[in-house]
């Protein structure tokens, strides 16, 4: 069942790959929250020190976050399972004259010898077959005192309504079929995994949408979308 789900998601994102850089297309929300994602990353480090840091962007899609970090002079490696996504990312980086190392590979089978200062996983864990084992595995690619930054979706009745029914079917923020409720992950589940693997929690923040103002912001409410940062001890 999990492999069938992964194949469906692969086909979906492959079909939509040409829309990654359309700010009013299927990935409009990702363009809207991109500045917040970058803001969050910079808050987890001294923003002046992003230059020359080695960053691994897992599930990079068409390169929205990878490019933003490359513009800040980070050394970025972006990985995505969907071949079309990587082709779009490479083409756009070339157009913008940005040097980014893009790799097309199955993230759960990824074998990299390089170590990184920052590993980013934005909206990717909930699409993996075994996110728990993957977090243990990717630890070997983190430098001493490095950090892992995750964003994903909480699992509760509120997130089920807002992230699937509301976001996919009503507002159509993301393509229908993007998410599966049983694969959502509670912050405590990630926390237990990371603590058991010699990490310590650096930050937990929510990402909330103000319906009246029509904008996204960081918050203290992780009930639906949330970020968390863990530092290797």
pLDDT over 90, % of the chain: 73
Q: How far apart are CA 50 and CA 56, in angstroms?
A: 13
164 versus 156: the higher-pLDDT residue is: 156
pLDDT tens digits along 23-59? 998 888 899 999 999 999 999 997 667 999 999 999 9
Residue 8, pLDDT above cutoff 60: no
At residue 158 the predicted structure's pLDDT band, cuts being 50, 70 and 90, is confident
Given pLDDT bands bounded at 50, 70 and 90, which one contains residue 5? very low
β-partners of residue 147 are 118, 231
State pLDDT tens for residues 116-157. Answer: 999 999 999 999 999 999 999 999 999 998 999 999 999 999
How far is residue 144's CA from residue 50's CA, in Å, rounded to a whole number?
16
pLDDT at res. 180: 82
Domain residue ranges of the chain, discontinuous segments joined by +: 2-232
Residues 6 or more apart in contact with residue 203 via CB below 8 angstroms: 43, 44, 227, 228, 229
Prediction pTM value: 0.90
Q: CA 33 to CA 139: how far, in whole Å?
A: 27
Q: What angle do CA 135, 112, 151 make, to 5 degrees?
A: 35
Number of residues written out for the chain = 233
Fold exhibited by the domain 2-232: Rossmann fold (3.40.50)
């Amino acid at each position: 069942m999990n492999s069938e789900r992964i194949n469906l998601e692969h086909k979906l994102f492959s079909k939509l790959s040409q829309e990654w850089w359309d700010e009013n297309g299927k990935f409009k929300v990702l363009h809207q929250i991109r500045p917040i994602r970058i803001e969050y990353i910079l808050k987890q480090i001294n923003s002046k020190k992003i230059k020359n840091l080695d960053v691994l962007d897992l599930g990079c899609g068409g390169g929205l976050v990878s490019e933003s970090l490359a513009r800040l002079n980070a050394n970025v490696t972006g990985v995505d399972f969907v071949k079309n996504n990587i082709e779009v990312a490479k083409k756009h980086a070339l157009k913008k004259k940005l040097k980014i190392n893009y790799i097309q590979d199955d993230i759960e089978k990824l074998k990299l010898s390089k170590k990184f200062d920052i590993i980013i996983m934005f909206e990717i864990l909930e699409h993996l077959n075994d996110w728990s084992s993957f977090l243990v595995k990717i630890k070997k690619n983190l430098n001493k005192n490095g950090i892992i930054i995750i964003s994903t979706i909480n699992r509760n009745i509120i997130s089920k309504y807002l992230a699937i029914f509301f976001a996919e079917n009503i507002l159509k923020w993301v393509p229908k079929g993007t998410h599966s409720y049983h694969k959502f992950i509670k912050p405590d589940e990630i926390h237990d995994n990371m603590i058991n693997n010699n990490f310590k929690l650096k930050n937990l923040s929510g990402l909330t949408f103000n319906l009246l103002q029509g904008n996204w912001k960081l918050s203290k409410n992780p009930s639906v979308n949330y970020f968390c940062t863990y530092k290797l001890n």
